[in-house]
Amino acid sequence: MASSNPGSMFIAGGTDLVPNLKRRQFDVAALISLNALPRMRLIDGDGNGGLTIGAGATLDELAHHPALDGPYRALAQACDLVSTPQVRCMGTLGGNLLVDPRCNYYNQTYSWRKAVGFCLKKDGDICLVARSSPRCWAVSSSDSAPVALALNASVTLHGVGGARRVRAHELYKDDGIDYTTKRADEVITSVDVPATEGRMTSAYWKLRRRPAFDFPILGVAVALNWDDGMVRAARGALGAVGSRPVDITALLEPLTGRRPDDALIAEVAEAAGKPARPLDNTDLSHYWRKRMTRVYIERALREACGLDPQAGRLSAQVKAATS
């Protein structure tokens, strides 16, 4: 249907798409609903053996699902932190993974955008954040996307050419407009989280102005594999610091083979915050968001290590500086 209806879009929960339609960020000829597809809401698997989650499972279902209470807990945390309870009852995992990247100059009404001057992402030819930039810097604003990277998840895409499986890392492109490798005729049908080898813990931390509402202006997802009290492998990703989720797995490498303590976690978090390059195009100052990146990495790592998340050294520095 999508290939025979150019200009059409898929709709599942509609919580991102419908507001964008109303603000005329999207012009569509037709909407194609995914809600009648079979097995879209199925959640299959258990705490350790891997999970297959139908892309139509709602964020509310995932936030409270027993299969996400163990090693995959970061995914439940991320789903539970999306927007409001009402939006979580409607919004789906597939939709959240593909949230249209956001920008202060783009997520505005048509009249506002017209008054300020249209931007590259819709109707204009320059980026209002970085005027000389040839590309769009809209921000990846998905809570579940960094978790998908940290859990090493894959998505199954179905399109006219058949089905294919893509690692979460390869689902995203570093561009605010052309942000996904999913083709226009393809639909995410399921999200597959691999089985854990041995004990695994995970955590997600989110920064935003209003804890009951907003899109992330920073998200940190980490997953740690354990071997007898020592970290065997560490994975992590940052959300909302660029046009795609940023993999920080290589920077968490110093944790492997060690028993993480206050000092090691602070040192690793400090280094792992470096790839975050927030621009001045979302809520709060980009200086603050950059600064909080290492603090939130520390909190997520501490939580995954079973330590008090906010009792770390980088948190103490922030408290000292702001009191």
Partner 1 sequence: MSIADKVVVRLRVNGEDTAIMVPPYKTLLEVLREDLGLTGTKHGCELGECSTCGVLVDGKPFLSCLAMPLDLEGREVTTIEGMARGREPHPLQVAFAELGAAQCGYCTPAMLLTAKALLAREPRPSREMIKEALSGVLCRCTGYLKIFEAVELAASRGGDG
- Report the residue number, 80 or 192, with the smaller CB distance to partner 1: 80
Size of the site for partner 1 (CB under 8 A): 21
- Report the residue number, 84 or 285, with the smaller CB distance to partner 1: 84
Contact between 287 and partner 1 per CB under 8 A: no
Tell me the CB-side half-sphere exposure of residue 154, using CA atoms within 13 A.
10
- The distance of closest approach from Cβ of residue 91 to partner 1 in the complex, given in angstroms and rounded to an integer, is 9
- Report the residue number, 18 or 42, with the smaller CB distance to partner 1: 18
Dihedral sign (CA 251, 46, 158, 90): negative
Q: Which of 33, 111, 181, 285 binds partner 1 (CB under 8 A)?
A: 33
- Report the residue number, 86 or 285, with the smaller CB distance to partner 1: 86
- The distance of closest approach from Cβ of residue 3 to partner 1 in the complex, given in angstroms and rounded to an integer, is 21
Name residue 323's amino acid. S
- The distance of closest approach from Cβ of residue 116 to partner 1 in the complex, given in angstroms and rounded to an integer, is 19
d(CA 291, CA 301): 17
- The distance of closest approach from Cβ of residue 85 to partner 1 in the complex, given in angstroms and rounded to an integer, is 5
- The distance of closest approach from Cβ of residue 26 to partner 1 in the complex, given in angstroms and rounded to an integer, is 13
- Any idea which residue has 């940023």 for tokens? 246
Report 48-87 residues binding partner 1 (CB under 8 A).
60, 83-87
d(CA 298, CA 266): 6
- The distance of closest approach from Cβ of residue 268 to partner 1 in the complex, given in angstroms and rounded to an integer, is 33
Residues with Cβ within 8 Å of residue 144, at least 6 apart in sequence:
59, 75, 78, 79, 82, 93, 96, 97
- The distance of closest approach from Cβ of residue 156 to partner 1 in the complex, given in angstroms and rounded to an integer, is 22
- The distance of closest approach from Cβ of residue 80 to partner 1 in the complex, given in angstroms and rounded to an integer, is 10
- Report the residue number, 13 or 242, with the smaller CB distance to partner 1: 13
Q: Considering only the stretches 19-27, 92-100, 147-155, 171-179, report the one whose residues sit in contact with partner 1 under the rule CB under 8 A.
A: 19-27
Name residue 2's amino acid. A
Structure tokens at 319: 């408290």
Contact between 90 and partner 1 per CB under 8 A: yes
- Report the residue number, 4 or 132, with the smaller CB distance to partner 1: 4
Report 121-150 residues binding partner 1 (CB under 8 A).
none
- Report the residue number, 22 or 259, with the smaller CB distance to partner 1: 22
- Report the residue number, 212 or 321, with the smaller CB distance to partner 1: 212
Residue 158: how many other CB atoms lie within 10 Å: 16
Report 186-225 residues binding partner 1 (CB under 8 A).
212-213
The footprint of partner 1 (CB under 8 A) covers: 11, 13-15, 18-19, 22-23, 31, 33, 35, 60, 83-87, 89-90, 212-213
